[in-house]
Chain A
């Protein structure tokens, strides 16, 4: 019977956790992956924990995934979305959260459009904060589930060649993936139009390749990102059609390779832009496995963070 603990009380970003933290999360997720494939998918671990899901920005799968993870751990859950709240009436973030915490909430899962908002909050409140995406900064649970899916599919992450394709500039998934995969010992290339790849990104220990076919030829896994039109204030690409011609992945492009590669996508997919249907629905794709693993990973993160706060100290 071994026990383990994360090095942190909050999950704000992959940048702030260590490789051994990530390995502990993966090991714990293995246990939960088993639980969610049983006929009864629920365990009583968090029965005395209340969790608030604060979504200041739209989300479908992350919100459902967190909510399912919380419910399968038997936690009490309250949901909040900015569109129907006092945020519209001019309340500050800290006031909103303090009001929720006054109702005796133990953990906060937050998505916010401003980078750094969860970090700010974690310094002001006692409850554990989990970042469910903060603007263009980080989306740690997505990166963990991506790396975990690679580990489940290919056996390990160490030494694997992974290319992240698309809108790197606006993607919190890309940044968290870079931190997570490099910590786990993978080799990373970024691929996309030069306008969507930040300058000096090589300083994070990654390479840049502008030619998609060369990048695919090199890699074991391609993690394909969405073009985030909602975050683009100016035109970074001439048209979606042109993007699809240069950076969209279709069956024909994959058939030209002399090996099989694994295709991942954090969702939501823009079919016909970054990924064509013949690839998204093919055997190469592990997109739906990623979604399943997401619940196990989030259960592991919640379980490990809640366990850091013994009830005697509350």
Chain B
């Protein structure tokens, strides 16, 4: 099994998150009428960290939810096994709110497409923006782009980019694998 190459180290990792937070503050100020929605499972981990950083470092509170998109995916019955759902935690509706959708890696765009379908069930958002830690530029299947991105990665289809978290994987870092491994 390939060990993978680190493309964002622990120090850069936290800096990038802080930069993303400042970019959000620049656009949303005190987050009046805005909310952050993380996509389960790994997008929600990034959203957790962003909300935490906004609160503890920048003293900004923001309405925050996590959405599971398993039942909205367009590859159901096109893959060998159905995906097991995670929990959806949405204590509010998004009617007329600005939504910042958060995922860890933007690749084909299909996850974001599913997330936007899922979000419709919580009301009609005023607008939706997308924040992603890693923007993989190649092999997008849909006309979807990120409004806020941590790093941009150019990689061929076989490659795999993984955002790792200290409390789960031992270290905050982003790794690049030349082939998809079972993680």
Q: Residues on A close to B: CB < 8 A?
A: 1-5, 24, 27-28, 30-32, 34-35, 38-40, 42-45, 48-49, 73, 303-304, 306-312
Contact = CB atoms under 8 A, between A and B. Distances in A.
B42 interface: yes
A267 to B, nearest CB: 28
A31 B68 contact: yes
B83 interface: yes
A308 B78 CA distance: 10
Given A31-B87, A307-B81, 4 more contacts: A3-B81, A5-B82, A27-B84, A42-B121
A103 B88 CA distance: 37
A136 to B, nearest CB: 32
Interface in B52-110: 68, 70-72, 76-88, 93
Contacts of A73: 71
A280 to B, nearest CB: 32
B77 A310 contact: yes
Q: Which of B71, B76, B80 has the most CB of A within 10 A?
A: B71
A306 B77 CA distance: 7
Nearest to A307: B82
B71 A31 contact: yes
A28 B88 contact: no
B9 interface: no
A26 to B, nearest CB: 11
9 contacts: A31-B85, A34-B68, A34-B88, A35-B71, A44-B71, A45-B76, A310-B77, A310-B79, A310-B80
B71 A30 contact: no
B117 interface: yes
B145 interface: no
Contacts of A311: 77-78
Contacts of B85: 27-28, 30-32
B72 A43 contact: yes
Contact of B82 (A34, A35, A48, A303): A303
B78 A28 contact: no
Given A309-B77, A311-B77, A4 B121 contact: no
